[in-house]
Amino acid sequence: MKITGIKSHVLSYELDEPLGYSQKYYTKRTAHIVEVTTDEGITGIGECFGPGGVALTNKTIVEKVIQPLIVGMDPRDREVIWNTIYNDIRDHGQKGMPMQALSGVDIALWDIAGKIAGLPLYKMVGGAFRDKIDVYGYGMMLQQVPDLEERFHNEAAQIKDMGFNAMKMKIGKGVKEDIRLVSAVRDAIGDDTGLMVDANHAYTAREAIPLGREFEKLGVDWFEEPVAPEDYQGYRDMCEALDLNIAGGEAEFTRWGFRDLIEKRCVDVLQPETCALGGISEYLKIRDMAHAHFIPVVNHVWGSAVCVAMNIHLLAAMPNLPGGAHPTEPMLEYDTTPNLFRENLLAESLGVLDQVKENGGWISLPKGPGLGIDLDWDFVDHYRVDA
């Protein structure tokens, strides 16, 4: 079996209103889907992390840099292919967009491997440790409106009514306003619902530590990306100063980047983004490194239904972290904000929202080989954009 080609499908559409995080606001939804074809008719699907112009840049890397390197190679030789690509781009892209591009290709190769074997991805990476996955709802993105507290209050109540037992919100508007926003959400959902906050590296450690102390009073479960991803000492200072969990890692890449983050005990909860860090092959090494240091892993999930499907498999196959009578169970992060690429991209929906509502917060494992999904190609054609 040989790889015959790689195609990038960048999809986009305009949002009804801008949604944002501490660093910027988006007016469009974007998804970057990678398709790897073979001479035996088996096709693999993957996804690259990154919106807008980032996705278009990654498309060029996938098709113009990576494709010529691996056409003609056996798609089952995933480690050989990964290292061939990485060694070629090492001098130009140890982090960032080249790794995002490599991630989508690697994920597609794992999808091919599962289809060849006739096994779901979770079987290919070691088997399922659980037959259901707890899900937390991601929402409350920043909006440029005067009534943000009221909107967050109402949205949080809606997410709870959808069946989620935990949720995550954006912050980063400033210390005083963040406290008001988190207070409004906690008021809406009560004390029995888990709550996480995500600052997207809005603060320095000096600003974030006293903010974290206020979050402790509000029962926040973790404080995500409080400081810049490069600020390892800032992360470590926060872990030492606060009792609530410090989470991060979505902006880190490869085992070498995560090595320092993990060995320096910079986070209490690690959040690898598989569609960015180097793909499934690299994720498995990072997951095991984190567990070797007794750091829980809760995957970062931001993308289309392809990303969601892949992460369901990876979470099913994640070993329980030892160290207590009641090990931390992994959770699936699920975006509840408007996203057609999450709900309408597949020929058959994953049905996450329906399952969460019916089951009281959890979903079952997908069936079928590889990622267990098929794209709706008419939908892809409709939303595809050119570079």
> What is the 3 state secondary structure string of the chain?
CCEEEEEEEEEEEEEEEEEEECCEEEEEEEEEEEEEEECCCCEEEEEECCCHHHHHHHHHHHHHHHHHHHCCCCCCCHHHHHHHHHHHHCCCCCCCHHHHHHHHHHHHHHHHHHHHHCCEHHHHCCCCCCCEEEEEEECCCECCCCCHHHHHHHHHHHHHHCCCCEEEEECCCCHHHHHHHHHHHHHHHCCCCEEEEECCCCCCHHHHHHHHHHHHHCCCCEEECCCCCCCHHHHHHHHHHCCCEEEECCCCCHHHHHHHHHHCCCCCEECCCHHHHCCHHHHHHHHHHHHHCCCCECCCCCCCHHHHHHHHHHHHCCCCCCCCCCCCCCEEEEECCCCHHHHCCECCCCCHHHHHHHHCCEEECCCCCECCCCECHHHHHHHECCC
Is 300 considered catalytic here?
yes
Catalytic member of 153, 201, 291, 300: 300
Catalytic center residues? 300
